[in-house]
Structures are given as C-alpha cells and as structure tokens.
C-alpha cells in the first residue's frame, strides 16, 4: 500500500472512473467477489469502467482509497442508484482532504476521464 496524493495517482491509462466520497454508510467492500456502494445520484448516461472510493474514517483519522471494476448500477432510493463492482482492492491511504484528492469541491461524486 502506498500514500496517495490525488485521484490521478490511482486512475491508470484510459480508465473512466467515478470517484465517490463515503464514510462507509451503504457501502459493502469485499476483496473477493462483488461489492457495492449506494444511494448515489448519478446521471444515467454517464459512463465509467472504474470505481474509486475515498473512505473517510473519522474515528481513526485516516482516508483509505479503494479501487474496483464497475459492473452495473441498480435502482436504490428514489432517483438514486447502487454502484456495483468487482475486484475491489485497497490501493492505499491519503492525507489529502476530499477536495484535494478529487479536485471536485464538496460534491461527493467526481469523475475522471483520462484520454
């Protein structure tokens, strides 16, 4: 595991990623098998193949970054979706706050479309 400065240290090549901020609610991360994180307001036409999760643990004062392969999204509560993924790995920690990590202000959803 390594210390990560921002999402550009995690997204590789031409990956199209959704980057999500969570404190763990509605999130199940399994390193073997499927994982999910939910109740996100994601535009239905938005395409991505990678899921990056910035998990803030306020009690431990650590921000852990996970990366998975997007599989699909399923309806959750009204107008929101559950993001499903496979092959989730813990890629490291970051001392960066969410804004520094994502480059996206306070919105808990960001995107990275490397070309």
pLDDT digits (tens, 9 = 90+) for 20-54: 999 887 888 887 778 988 889 998 888 999 999 99
Structure token pair of residue 112: 């990275």
Contacts of 105 (CB under 8 A, 6+ apart): 99
CA distance 65 to 106: 17
For the chain, the domain total comes to 1
> What residues make up the domain containing 71?
2-113
For residue range 55-94, list pLDDT tens digits in order: 998 888 889 999 999 999 999 888 899 999 999 999 999 9
For residue range 97-112, list pLDDT tens digits in order: 999 999 988 899 999 9
């Amino acid at each position: 595991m390594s210390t990560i400065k921002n999402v550009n240290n995690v997204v590789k090549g031409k990956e199209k990623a959704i980057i999500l901020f969570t404190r763990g609610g509605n999130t199940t991360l399994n390193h073997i098998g499927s994982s999910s994180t939910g109740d996100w307001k994601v535009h239905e036409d938005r395409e991505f193949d990678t899921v990056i999760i910035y998990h803030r643990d306020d009690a431990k004062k650590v921000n852990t970054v996970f990366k998975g392969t997007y599989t699909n999204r399923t309806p959750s509560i009204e107008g929101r979706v559950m993001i499903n993924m496979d092959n989730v790995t813990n890629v490291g920690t970051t001392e960066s706050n969410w804004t520094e990590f994502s480059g996206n202000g306070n919105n808990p959803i960001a995107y990275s479309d490397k070309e």
